[in-house]
Chains A and B, each alone.
Chain A
Amino acid sequence: MYLAKVVVTLRKSILDPQGKAVHHALGSMNMPTVQDVRIGKFIEMKIDTVTMEDAERVTAEACKKLLANPVMEDFSFSLEKIQ
């Protein structure tokens, strides 16, 4: 069994108004060193495969087909073996 941790974010080229609003709020909280904020989604999936390669293939397929929309989002993920 593997645990996939997926992060989905808006593509760099797309303006993130939520990130902008949060950045603005942090600025007004006297945290001027925060230079940029991007908001995304964090998804965990337990994947029941024997090999890491298979878990990687399944995770990538889930990301491409459903978890991220390639028109507006990028994804990345990590995998760890669990019991």
Chain B
Amino acid sequence: MTKLKFGVVVFPGSNCDHDAYYVMNNILQQDTRYLWHKNSSLENVNVVILPGGFSYGDYLRCGAIARFSPIMKEVISFALDGGVVIGICNGFQILCEAGLLPGALLRNAGLTFVCKFVNLRVEHANSMFTSKCRKGDVLHIPIAHGDGNYITDDATLEHLENNNQVLFRYCEPGGVLSEAANPNGSRNNIAGIINEHGNIMGIMPHPERASDPVLGHTDGQIIFCSLIQSLSHREHIHDQLVVERS
């Protein structure tokens, strides 16, 4: 099977870029490269990952300044053109600031930075990021953030819910939603969403920190493997069509 090309964007202050690179390149054996934030080319990657960290020191608002980095112009047009973009933690904040995903991420309701494993309920398997899951699966993945409190206005929230754009929610180990299982006060326990077309995902927890068997947790892999399988299938069909037409 041909490898997919992954690009991990590096902003000043990114600190999960190496983790994302290592998981995609070494663990999942994909063709992975770093993309410096001053680049004006995405180097023909299939998937862009905006990693976690504290881009620009979280000055002004998390993600607010990174959103205007030169490479973001390319990322935005790539995403609007249907390209696959994943924003993890700070990457999710950047996607919201860039207007590629609705809503915003506020200071955690408890005001403290929270770093721990959480349980995530998979809301549906009809996305390229969850295709190898089953609806209701509970994934064990860590969070590490101070600003993960997801908010939107009521109308946007209703639209997200009705349109199956909520992919992951914070839950109890058995999958039950509760206030106690919500680490940051996010509306409707939201931990991860996709855009309307399903090609852009923002997720506060860190699947790349739960993907190496050496670390004892591999639930994060299922998200990346879902994407690799979905995209490889799409590329395969595309290749077949090209062969048939020629």
A72 lies within 8 A of B104 (CB): yes
Q: B residues within 8 A CB of A31? A: none
B107 lies within 8 A of A69 (CB): no
A66 lies within 8 A of B111 (CB): no
Contact stretch, chosen from B60-68, B132-140, B171-179? B60-68
How far apart are the CA atoms of A21 and B97 in the complex, in Å? 26
A18 to chain B minimum Cβ distance, whole angstroms, is 7
A29 to chain B minimum Cβ distance, whole angstroms, is 19
B152 part of interface (Cβ distance < 8 Å): yes
How far apart are the CA atoms of A69 and B64 in the complex, in Å? 8
B106 lies within 8 A of A14 (CB): yes
B149, closest chain A residue (CB): A17
A70 to chain B minimum Cβ distance, whole angstroms, is 9
A71 part of interface (Cβ distance < 8 Å): yes
A66 lies within 8 A of B68 (CB): yes
Q: B residues within 8 A CB of A15? A: 109
B96, closest chain A residue (CB): A71
A69 lies within 8 A of B111 (CB): no
Interface string of B151-185 (1 = CB under 8 A from A): 11100000000000000000000000000000001
Q: Max chain B CB contacts within 10 Å: which of A10, A15, A72?
A: A72
Interface string of A65-83 (1 = CB under 8 A from B): 0110101100000000000
Q: B residues within 8 A CB of A72? A: 104, 106, 151
Q: A residues within 8 A CB of B61? A: 69
- Tell me the residues in window 17-65 of chain B with beta carbons closer than 8 Å to chain A beta carbons: 60-61, 64-65
Interface string of A45-83 (1 = CB under 8 A from B): 000000000000000000000110101100000000000
A21 lies within 8 A of B111 (CB): yes
- Tell me the residues in window 170-204 of chain B with beta carbons closer than 8 Å to chain A beta carbons: 185
B83 part of interface (Cβ distance < 8 Å): no
A17 lies within 8 A of B151 (CB): no
Q: B residues within 8 A CB of A66? A: 60, 64-65, 68
Q: A residues within 8 A CB of B110? A: 17
Q: A residues within 8 A CB of B60? A: 41, 66-67
A18 lies within 8 A of B107 (CB): yes
Contact of B151 among A41, A67, A71 (CB under 8 A): A71
Q: A66-B60, A69-B97, A71-B151 known; A17 and B109 CB under 8 Å? A: yes
- Tell me the residues in window 95-123 of chain B with beta carbons closer than 8 Å to chain A beta carbons: 96-97, 102-104, 106-111
Interface string of A8-34 (1 = CB under 8 A from B): 001001110110010000000000000
B61, closest chain A residue (CB): A69
A71 lies within 8 A of B111 (CB): no
B63 to chain A minimum Cβ distance, whole angstroms, is 9
Top 7 closest pairs, chain A to chain B, by CB: A71-B104, A72-B104, A17-B111, A17-B109, A69-B104, A69-B61, A72-B106
User: Can you offer 23 A-B residue contacts whose CB atoms are under 8 A?
Assistant: A13-B153, A14-B106, A14-B151, A17-B107, A17-B108, A17-B109, A17-B110, A17-B111, A17-B185, A18-B111, A66-B60, A66-B68, A67-B60, A69-B61, A69-B64, A69-B97, A69-B104, A71-B96, A71-B104, A71-B151, A71-B153, A72-B104, A72-B106
